[in-house]
Amino acid sequence: MLDRETMLAAMRGPIAEIAVPEWGGDVGIRRLSAADLVAFRTTIKEADGSDGANLDAAATLLSMALCGDDGKPILTVDEIKQWDAQQMPLLNRLAEQVNVHNGIDKASVEDLEKNSASGEKSESI
């Protein structure tokens, strides 16, 4: 019979390692929890379509998913939002990898943004 720790480890899932040459090494991406996905969904719903709102959503996603070997987050939303414009390709690449690792497809995010803008509720993400 499964014990608690085995079940929790299976629910957390594996940590993906991706190369970030700009930083000189690898970074971990953890599987997001249900609470993380709700927080991300809330950030997207509150976004007004401006660049600042899009940055908030990306920074929220990355702050929850980028992690060390122990699975604990390594950057805060504010730290990520302070990256300069030259870091935007990296931010986009990391966000894409987080989405892939967590099974969040682009269509789901776009559907959520579209439905949130029209006041409708979406069941995606």
Segments making up each domain of the chain, as ranges: 4-117
How far is Cα of residue 17 from the mean position of the Cα atoms in its chain? 15
Residue 17: in which H helix or E strand, if any? strand 16-20
| pLDDT tens, residue by residue, 10-28 | 777 789 999 999 999 999 9
CATH number of 4-117: 3.30.2220.20
> Do 44 and 31 form a contact (C-beta atoms < 8 A)?
no
| pLDDT tens, residue by residue, 44-93 | 887 776 666 778 888 999 999 999 988 899 999 999 999 887 888 998 89
> Do 61 and 77 form a contact (C-beta atoms < 8 A)?
no
pTM above 0.75, yes or no: no
The pLDDT value recorded for residue 107 is 66
Closest Cα to residue 80, out of 95, 98, 63? 63
